[in-house]
Amino acid sequence: MSKLSLEERETIILFNEKDKEAEIFTYNRALITNLKKLAKERPDEVQLKKNNGEGGLTFIVPKAWLVIRARKKKNFTEETRNALRERAKKLMARA
């Protein structure tokens, strides 16, 4: 494993307007695991391009797969929070 600091363990996504593929370079273990799995399941769409020997891998993926999605904020009322808390307590008591 790399001796890089957390700040140095980057994820970089590169693509241009011409090509249909994007390049993802990452040290992120969860992302690497996911991309390796996809490369095995869908080798015609995802390829492992390069291993830098320090824990960073570069993958080629369809650019159309890249999406930025905002998560909805959950603004619960105090009443809803209390009801959820009580429900969780009851569920934990059964376990």
The total number of structural domains in the chain stands at: 1
* Whole-Å CA distances, 52 to 27, 66, 80, 88: 10, 23, 49, 46
In a domain, 76, yes or no: no
In a domain, 50, yes or no: yes
Residue among 51, 50, 58, 73 at smallest CA distance from 23: 58
pLDDT over 80 at 16, yes or no? yes
In a domain, 6, yes or no: no
pLDDT for 70: 85
In a domain, 35, yes or no: yes
List alpha helices for 1-95, DSSP H.
Answer: 29-41, 78-94
Residue among 58, 60, 59, 57 at smallest CA distance from 2: 57
| Tens digits of residue pLDDT in 42-88 | 999 999 999 999 999 999 999 999 999 888 877 888 898 899 999 99
In a domain, 43, yes or no: yes
pLDDT for 2: 61
Find all residues with CB under 8 Å of 93, minimum gap 6, and list them: none
In a domain, 86, yes or no: no
Domain limits at 62? 11-68
In a domain, 23, yes or no: yes
Tokens 């869908």 correspond to 42
pLDDT band for position 92 (cuts 50, 70, 90): confident
In a domain, 37, yes or no: yes
pTM as predicted: 0.72
| Tens digits of residue pLDDT in 50-63 | 999 999 999 999 99
